[in-house]
Amino acid sequence: MTLSALADPTRRAILARLASGEAYVSELAEPFDMSLVAVSKHLKVLEKAGLISKGREAQWRPCRLEPKPLRQVDDWLESYRQFWNDNLDRLEAYAALLQQGEVDEPST
Amino acid sequence: MTLSALADPTRRAILARLASGEAYVSELAEPFDMSLVAVSKHLKVLEKAGLISKGREAQWRPCRLEPKPLRQVDDWLESYRQFWNDNLDRLEAYAALLQQGEVDEPST
DNA sequence: CCTATATTAAACCAATAAGTTAATTAACTT
DNA sequence: AAGTTAATTAACTTATTGGTTTAATATAGG
């Protein structure tokens, strides 16, 4: 669910904003060219995904970023890090060979 | 676009499979309880997102994982890593204070 | 109590996503 | 040339998403 919550650019912008500190719903909505209701729904999606939590302060709902799901995305990426490092290694090895004149450069 | 491509569990499973090596479309489709056509569409989504590429071998299309977009996700996470480490630091600092009997434990 | 403010809920709409089946393209095999 | 295999395209259905507007809820302040 985390990834689909992260798939929307508005929601990612909200998270970016929250990375620099708590904010109320209406503060979060301010930069966007859409209704407050729409932003409120985005926040609900983020909340269901555990990416944010909401407190209560009178009629305000201070929102804050929750690290756990993002950390899980990071963990999920772990298996692929191996993969792209391998690729990088091959590229570097190849570049080193080029340097030594061991292989011809591709014509394209 | 990368994140929305990653939002679907079938597509993530396909990527996981490809992390262990190239595979043809029909091989990729085999584990899933859905038509080959459906999988072919998932592959199209992954391809448009740059997460995979397809070669040609007679009537087969060998698919392979492309590292770049995943690396970009990793880069995007970077800004939040700071954040969750901060959180962790605070937790650790708090735990240390508890240890020293500097603060009371919360009643809940 | 009344009103203003902050937020959520309900009902609706258009666009997109994820699946289906049937038809088509392309390349190998006989 | 005919048939088989691999994959894609087309047309369609259904569910979900992202937005709208209007109505409801909750709290603070005169």
Amino acid identity at A16: A
Is the minimum distance from the CB of B56 to strand D below 7 Å?
no
Looking at residue A104, what is its pLDDT? 60
Chain B contact for A79 (CB, 8 A cutoff): yes
DSSP-derived secondary structure for chain B: -HHHHHTSHHHHHHHHHHHT--B-HHHHHTTSSS-HHHHHHHHHHHHHTTSEEE--BTTB--EEE-SHHHHHHHHHHHHHHHHHHHHHHHHHHHHHHHHTT-SPPP--
Share of chain A above pLDDT 70, in %: 84
* B30-89 confidence digits (pLDDT tens): 999 999 999 999 999 999 999 999 999 999 999 999 999 999 999 999 999 988 877 666
The Cα–Cα gap between B84 and A78 comes to: 17
Gyration radius from chain B CA atoms: 22
| Å between CA of B103 and C1' of D18 | 47
Tokens 């590292």 found at: B67
